Structure formats: C-alpha cells, structure tokens
Structure 1
Amino acid sequence: MFRIVLLGSGGSIPSPERCVSCVGIRCNGRVYTFDACEGLQRQMMRAKLSYFKTSAIFISHLHPDHFLGIPGLVYTLQLSEYKDELHIIGPPGTKEVVNNLLLGNVPSFVKVKEFEGEGEVYACDEFRVSAFKVKHSKHSYGYVLEEREKLKFHEEKAKALGINGRLFREIEEKGHVEINGKAIKLEDVAWKKAGKKIVYSGDTVYDENVVMNSKDADLLIMDATFTEAHRKDADEKMHATAKDAAEIAKRAGCKKLVLTHISSRYKDIKGHVEEAKELFEEAIVAEDGLEITV
C-alpha cells in the first residue's frame, strides 16, 4: 500500500496556499519524494512523513522550484547523524546542483545518481522506479513507480492438492513440489497479481510519451499549470493545461488523475475542475496536504 501526499501543488512561484512541486510517498515505513520543494521539511512534518525515513528523492528536471528543498533536509539529517543512505536521483547536472547547494560539503550518506535516457533508475524490494522523457526544459523527465507483482495462491485448490504449511514456501521457492509422487507446479496453484502503478509527469506539455508511460496507471499526478483560457502561456512556457492532463488520463486508461503544479495566478480552481471533468470524471485538483492511498 502506498500513502501519497501532495507536499507541494503550486507552479513555479509559491503562494500563501500552495508550496511548489513535490509529492511524498510512504511505503513499508520508508519515504520517497518526487521533486523537493522549498520548505520540504515543514511540509513533511505537516503531512506526518518522517524525513528521518527518507530513502530517495527523484528530481524531474533542474529548475530551482523542483530541488530547493534538498539542502535543508540534508543539513537536518547531518545534524542528526543520519545512519541510512539518502539517494538523490536526477538527470545530467544533478551532481553539480547538489554539490553547489551543499557548498561542496556533501555528506557521505548522500548518494547522487545521474541518468540520461529512459529506463529503470531505482529499485527496492517493494517497487521499481523508471524515468521517461517529457517535453519541458532540457533533460526533463517523468517517473513511473511500479509495485512488484505479488504471488497469490488459490487456497482451496492448493489445499485439495495437499499443499499446506511449509509446502507453500517450498513451492514458492522451488517453483514445484512433489506430493505422493505427483509433481505440482507453482502455476497450478498460484498466480501473479499485478502491482499498483503511480505516474508523476513532472513539468510537461501534452505528450504522447506521457500517454504511453501512463497506460493503465492507478494514479497519474500530472502538470496542469494552466486552463485553456491561458493556452498561449501554456505553450510558451511548455506546461500542460487541465484539459491536456484529462485527455492524457483518458487515453491512457488511468484510474485516477490529480492535477498539480497550479499557477499562482489562479485563486479559484473551478476552471481546472470543470475543464478536466468534462473529459475525465475521476480528476481532482491537488492542494497542499491532499492525501491518497493506492
């Protein structure tokens, strides 16, 4: 299960209501963030996401509103004699940015990884994270978090074949067991259940690559900086509108859509809501602190 909190839902400039872009995810006691908004620690405290449990930060691109929360978090962890590793993962230039933010004093627990191109960038026991290219600035990426498949047993069928107790573990480890001279394969009594899929678009325009990578996602967290009333601004600044986000979610077959990176010019989000729901009913506009469980 993933606990997802919108730590920052605003555009490039913060407002009294919205911090800039950041999503926090808690899984199996650990915390991961997609981008790192200024004021990250405070936002995490408000959301009851322990920054002492932070394992990785995924940076979508190197505009300051997406990474200014890093130095404060690292400084606090350093003062607290942090014993774990903090992975900071991002596109080319991330190492230089982190080094500059920390004035050349990068603690040994900070592990910076740069990548260029699409593919897997992080993996743990529970899930894997892959990056995909989006159209915004140079080296801009979105991320796909995919939970690992889970093995599920047909309990009645397994019981009828005499599989119980330690035999469940044995057949899971070996792929087969023998009972009364009869070989029973794992696929005879079990199946793999697909894990959850969460997509974070980062900053982007409408892009077929976002559609492709968001296919069948349980949750798409998508740039919707503007409404169609400001389409010219969206195109010039290379951001998406609420309509763009809804069209992507609809075409990709997503289950739920969260619109984020809302420009500070909007004091009323009614236009975003109406525009998105016209195409995709399961759309909501993020606010700081919005929480979703997947």
Structure 2
Amino acid sequence: MAFQVKILGSNSATPAHNRNQTAQLLIAENEYYLIDCGEGTQMQLIRYRIRFHKISCIFISHLHGDHYLGLMGLLLTMHLQGREHDLHVFGPAGLDEIITIQLKHSGTVLSYKVYFTALQANATGVIFESRLLSVRTVPLVHRIACTGFVFSEKPKSRRFNKARLQEDMTGDDINQLKQGNDIYTPEGELKYRCIDYTLPPRRSRSYAYCSDTRYEPAIIPLIKNVDVLYHESTFTQEFAERATATYHSTALQAAQIAKEANVNMLLLGHYSVRYKDLTPLLVEARQEFYNTRLAVEGETIDIGEE
C-alpha cells in the first residue's frame, strides 16, 4: 500500500528561490490529505497533476499566512470544478470564521459541505480516523497556537499465503483467515487453521509533521519511533538566538529532536529566504542525525516499508 508524502511547498514566510510556502500532500493508498496550504498551493497541485477532488481532509497547523493563505483559493476552485463530496478541515479556532466571512462577502455558496474541526491548543489526542489511518495532534511552541500532526497506519490484517490456497476455499474463508479467525465446518470440525494459511501482518507506518516550533524536547514522547519526521529547520545554528526569539528551530535542533525520538528519517523544511543554497542546513543536521533529507518541492518520500 502506498504511504508517502509529496512536497508542494518548503519555504517559510514568503516565496523565494523557486520555493513556495509550506504545503504537503500525504497519500495513504487512495486517501489524500493536504497538510498546510500556503499561498500558491493549488498551482502546485496543478503542476504535479494532483486531482483536487481526491483530497478528503485538510490539516492547517496555525494561522500564519504562509501556512493557510492558499486555502480559500483551493476551496473556491473545488467549487468551480463542481465538487460534491464532503471536505473536512482541521485547524485553529478562527479559521472557520475566516472561511465563512470570505464566502459571505463574495456571495458564494459552495457546491459541497465543509466540516470544520477546531483544534485545541496545547492538547494532544486523536482528531480523525479513517479506514486506514488515525491522526493525532502534537502541541508545538510558536508565537501563536500551533499544532503538529502524527499520521499512523492502523494495525493491518494478516496476509493470506497464496501458496496454501485450497480448491474449495471461498472468498469469505480467505477474509476470515486474514482477520485471524479459524474456519470450521457446519459440524464444528476445524477446517482451516489461520496460522497455517496466513503470514504475519505488514508493519504499520507513521509520519510526524512538526510545523513552526521553537526547539521543544517535550514533543519527543509524542513522535517517538515514527518512520519519518518532518521538523521545521528555518535557520542554521549560526542564527540560534534569532530562531529562539522568533519561535523557530535550527537544523541542528531538528536533528537533536530526531535523534532523541529515535525516528528513522528526518525531513527538513520551512527554510528562511536567506538560504538560496540549502546545503548548510543539510550538512549541519547530518552531523547530529545522518539519515536526514531536505524537503524539495516535487519530490515524493516513501514512508517506511511494508
């Protein structure tokens, strides 16, 4: 099953150096989740040939413009394209008011329903579940209320061992075996034992998205052992004081969080416009945590292995 994140925007504050403001698309099999929606996000979706209607949920970390100003344009384009199925938006309190006011004064009634869930600042817990995933929140430390998200695959079924397929097995038999159940005859005799016809389930994978935040070790237990951690890295350590003053992190600090959390891979992003060349950020992080990558627009990162 596909479980991957596509980078749509990686810059902080303003677009620069052919980099756009923050936005990512998480793909879990046939489920599409947009994470943050900076200015120009819909243009990036078009550029990478991602069909808007596939997005079922949008998660907004906070109300600084570089993380949500692309949202209204996207919502209106979905409307113009005739979207009919529901859209779920998760974000800070006040985002619903922003959406409502703009729709009111433009005289727009959307062709689909938007269900808004206000995130509780400084709270952690599961805010969404689908057939495949659960999403829980991570309180971050920024100048305004800001929330990170952990996307976790749900426990998977056992896998049917095709080499053990029997001629008289039905589809229901196979499904029951995959669910861990033994199969019995109408007379109550054991017909197929689950352990004999199935393989262990594939490992469930996880992705943590830590948007704008000052260095904060308190988040470590909430992101422990994830496959991929995205952690903002606005500055190099040379500007550590500025990072603290503006409630951001350095690449080194992001790497320290990744190391302490025992994650498999660190993904850097939210770059300051002062960096045209991102190499210094990558070099700095790899000194502390080697399995680090840069978030590069257009690239798709596979999360873990099945």
TM-score, normalised with respect to structure 1: 0.90
Which residue in 1 is equivalent to 2:230? 221
Kindly indicate whether residue 189 of structure 2 is the aligned counterpart of residue 181 of structure 1. yes
> Which runs of 4 or more aligned residues in structure 1 lie more than 6 Å from their structure 2 counterparts after TM superposition?
160-163
Superposed CA RMSD: 2.5
Alignment of 1:112 onto 2:116: yes
Is 1:126 the equivalent of 2:127?
no
Post-superposition shift, 1:273?
1.2
Q: 2:152 aligns with which of 146, 150, 157?
A: 146
Show the counterpart of 1:27: 28
Query: Matched residue pairs, number?
Result: 293
Gaps of 5+ in 2: none
Question: Cα–Cα, structure 1 residues 211 and 50, in superposed 2: closer, same or farther, change >3 Å?
Answer: same
1:137 maps to 2:143: yes
The match for 2:290 is: 281
- Once the 2 structures are TM-superposed, how far is the Cα of residue 275 of structure 1 from its aligned partner? 0.6
Residue pair 1:151, 1:190 contacting (<8 A) in 2 also: no
How does 1:75-94 map onto structure 2 within 5 Å? 75-94=76-95
In the TM superposition, what is the alpha-carbon distance from 1:161 to its structure 2 partner? 11
Maintained 8 Å contact 2:160/2:174? no
**3-state secondary structure, aligned to 1:193:** coil
Per mean C-alpha deviation after superposition, the further-off stretch among 28-37 and 63-72 is: 28-37
5 Å-filtered alignment, 1:149-164, equals 149-153=155-159, 155=161, 159=164, 164=169
Q: Is residue 31–residue 49 contact of structure 1 (8 Å, CA) maintained in 2?
A: no
Q: 2-side partners of 1:44 and 1:218: how far apart?
A: 25
Q: Which moved more, 1:189-198 or 1:56-65?
A: 189-198
Which stretch shows the higher mean deviation, 189-198 or 259-268?
189-198
User: C-alpha distance in 2, partners of 1:199/1:163?
Assistant: 45
Please say which of residues 172-181 and 131-140 is displaced more in the overlay.
Answer: 172-181
One-letter identity of the residue aligned with 1:3 = Q
| 5+ residue gaps, structure 1 | none
Does structure 2 retain, via aligned residues, the 8 Å contact 1:196–1:217?
yes
- Distance 1:268-1:153 versus aligned 2 partners, 3 A rule: closer
Q: Secondary structure at the match of 1:194?
A: coil
Q: After TM superposition, give the deviation of residue 259 of structure 1 in Å.
A: 0.3
* Aligned counterparts of 1:42 and 1:23: Cα–Cα separation in 2: 13
Contact 2:17–2:276 (8 Å) recurs in 1: no
- CA deviation profile, 1:118-177 (whole Å, cap 9, x unmatched): 111122112111111011133211000011221124739x94999954422234458333
Does the 8 Å contact 1:22/1:36 carry over to 2?
A: yes
* Distance change >3 Å, CA 65–CA 160, structure 1 → 2: closer
Match of 2:212 among 203, 221, 232: 203
Query: Quick one: which amino acid aligns to residue 144 of structure 2?
Result: K
SS of alignment partner, residue 100 of structure 1: helix
Amino acid at match of 1:113: T
